Chain A
Amino acid sequence: MDYLAPYIPILMLLVIALGFGIVTLALSGLIGPRVITFTKLLPYECGNVPTGEANVRIPIKFYLVALLFLLFDMETVLILAWAIAFRDPTIPNFQPYAFLAMVFFLLILVVGFIYEWRKGALEWT
């Protein structure tokens, strides 16, 4: 219970935040006028009549960014844990060891990063 106690206020805040959002949205929906015309129901394109589907094809680049994000975010998670453990005073001579370990890990990572850079995965033009 002690371990989970700090999360109870977050739960309260979540309930308050969602409650605030839902209540204001609902109230505003009830109070506001509702006059439906044909042009209002069209998607907004600065006054032009929309042509074609809105779900257009998206450049593959964006997919690549998502993939790269997954890769490097994993690594960020590992590094964050490493950063906290780095100052651990209970293990003698731990820091040089931890430092070298991370440098080797980063070397492998940077090789991958340089590869994708040279492959042009980061180019947008």
Chain B
Amino acid sequence: MTLTLTPFAIEMLLRLVLILVIFHVLLIIVPFMVLWERKLLGFIQERPGPNRVGPWGILQTIVDGLKLFLKEDIRPASVDRTLHTLAPLMTVAPAILVLAIVPFADPVRITLDGGEFSLLGLTIQVAPVVLDLPIGITSLEVGILYYLAITGLAVYGIVLAGWASNSKYSLLGGIRSSAQMLSYEIALGLSLVGVLLIAGTFDLRAIIEQQDGGFWNWHVWKQPVGFLLFMVAGFAETNRLPFDLPEGESELGAGFHTEFSSMKFAMFFMAEYMNMFTFSAVLATLFLGGYTGPIASPFAELGWLNVAWGVFWLMAKIFLIVSFMIFIRGTLPRFRYDQLMDLGWKVMFPLALANMVLTAGVVAVFPPGNRWVTREEIIGQPSTVGLTLGLLVVGVAQIIIMDMILNARKRRLLANAR
């Protein structure tokens, strides 16, 4: 029997290998993220953190995972059996799927001479191929839409977990998280519009190429407010402190995953860290130049060294952002629920709209070309200066107005009391 591998089939096979590699790297990174979080929190709180299992506690989280795997899966009598099993899957699947659009490095050229070999009595004919394989799971033209769509799906897992548990803590956690994630999803979508206006495309690889050529080409300099809004909304979407009200361990037990144990709990836990990882990757890609370094790559294009260079810079940026998220967790207290909703609807949403209108105005008057610009051009460009100044004015005005509105009631009450 003969099997012919067409170039398309070869590409898909190579992609499958790449997917398996990326997936396993993600699975390996998650325990080390947890370990790094515990170590860093320990450092902030002046204690050593995990230091018993292995040198520097390095095996701690791996052993924890193993322990969770071997634990009893407790299912209280009152839970909805189907949904209780489905909810962890529905949380972990979107967390993994979001990773599909993240570009990890420049493409690499793969050359196959073609030929024939036999495997298990099957003759396999390989067509000669030269193809540039982009390092990443896939490259979609609608990458950002895909990102918004799949992160939106994450709500279902959490709400279903809360609902299926049939426990008061879980239900409260689930309801809270649905309202929180819905509220911040709007700010998340709108904060990206500024970047989209400048980039003119949904394709993440194209957005990275526009930012190539060094530090001063990064979109964060053209979209400081958008960057900030996206980051805050991302914190809320990944349920990290100070937005971790769905869990709220001091008031709700463990929130939506109170009734989950063993591997089901581990699924929620992994999903949270995977979400952190992908969110950091997307933030780095959109605003911080993605896999391009602050200096130009010294390696030849389409080679493996160039790939290593790209992966190194993306991982370095992800590491910094994740460390920042952990640092925030060690620094800020949790929001009160009304503060959370106020921030989402009354500050982030109007600010995102203002940012969008201002960016659109500047882009309409001074359309930026999609080309490499030098540092002098960026700093001197009227669009950059105008945008930054305008946003500062809008931001300050916004904060003053918000303060007036939000604290008006308090002041009235105080005046009445006097």
B167 lies within 8 A of A10 (CB): no
Q: Given the known A-B contacts A44-B167, A99-B361, are A73 and B185 also in contact in the complex, defined by CB atoms under 8 Å?
A: yes
CA distance A62 to B178 in the complex (A): 9
CA distance A56 to B168 in the complex (A): 8
CA distance A13 to B97 in the complex (A): 7
- Pick the interface stretch among B28-36, B255-263, B279-287, B378-386: B255-263
Q: Which of A25, A61, A68 contacts B88 (CB 8 A)?
A: A25
Segment 298-350 of B: residues with Cβ below 8 Å from A: 337-338, 341-342, 345-346, 349-350
Q: How far is the CB of A23 from chain B (nearest CB, A)?
A: 10
For the side of the interface on B, what is the size category? 35 or more
In this assembly, does B71 line the interface, its C-beta being within 8 Å of a C-beta of chain A?
yes
CA distance A66 to B396 in the complex (A): 30
Q: Which of A17, A18, A32, A72 contacts B70 (CB 8 A)?
A: A32
Q: Which of A20, A22, A99 contacts B364 (CB 8 A)?
A: A99
- Pick the interface stretch among B11-19, B46-54, B105-113, B124-132: B11-19
Q: Which residues of the partner chain A approach B100 to less than 8 Å between Cβ atoms?
A: 9-10, 13
Main SS class of interface, B: helix
Q: Which residues of the partner chain B approach A86 to less than 8 Å between Cβ atoms?
A: 197, 200, 360, 363-364
Q: Which residues of the partner chain B approach A9 to less than 8 Å between Cβ atoms?
A: 12, 15-16, 19, 100, 137-138
A25 lies within 8 A of B85 (CB): yes
Q: Which of B96, B267, B364 contacts A13 (CB 8 A)?
A: B96
Most buried by B among A34, A102, A122: A122
In this assembly, does B2 line the interface, its C-beta being within 8 Å of a C-beta of chain A?
no
In this assembly, does A41 line the interface, its C-beta being within 8 Å of a C-beta of chain B?
yes
CA distance A46 to B141 in the complex (A): 49
Q: How far is the CB of A75 from chain B (nearest CB, A)?
A: 9
Q: Which residues of the partner chain A approach B114 to less than 8 Å between Cβ atoms?
A: none
Q: How far is the CB of A82 from chain B (nearest CB, A)?
A: 8
A69 lies within 8 A of B183 (CB): yes
Q: Which residues of the partner chain B approach A10 to less than 8 Å between Cβ atoms?
A: 97, 100, 137-138
CA distance A102 to B23 in the complex (A): 41
In this assembly, does B60 line the interface, its C-beta being within 8 Å of a C-beta of chain A?
no
For the side of the interface on A, what is the size category? 35 or more
B23 lies within 8 A of A16 (CB): yes
Q: Which of B16, B349, B357 contacts A72 (CB 8 A)?
A: B349
- Closest residue of chain B to A59 (Cβ to Cβ) is B175
Interface residues of A (CB under 8 A from B): 5-10, 12-14, 16-18, 20-22, 24-25, 27-29, 31-35, 40-46, 50, 54-56, 58, 61-62, 65-66, 68-69, 72-73, 76-77, 79-80, 83-84, 86-87, 95-96, 98-99, 102-103, 106, 110, 113, 117, 122-125
Interface residues of B (CB under 8 A from A): 8, 12, 15-16, 19-20, 23, 68-74, 76-78, 85, 88-89, 92-93, 96-97, 99-100, 137-141, 144-145, 148, 165-171, 175, 178-179, 182-183, 185-186, 189-190, 192-193, 196-197, 200-202, 253, 258-259, 262-264, 267, 337-338, 341-342, 345-346, 349-350, 353, 356-357, 360-361, 363-364, 367
> Knowing that A13-B100, A14-B97, A56-B168 are A-B contacts, what are 16 other residue pairs whose CB atoms are under 8 Å apart, sorted by A's residue number?
A6-B138, A13-B97, A16-B19, A24-B267, A25-B88, A28-B68, A41-B78, A50-B168, A58-B175, A62-B179, A66-B179, A79-B189, A83-B356, A86-B200, A87-B200, A117-B346
Q: Identify the 9 closest CB pairs spanning chains A and B, nearest first.
A: A124-B338, A87-B200, A28-B263, A43-B167, A41-B77, A17-B96, A76-B189, A69-B182, A83-B196
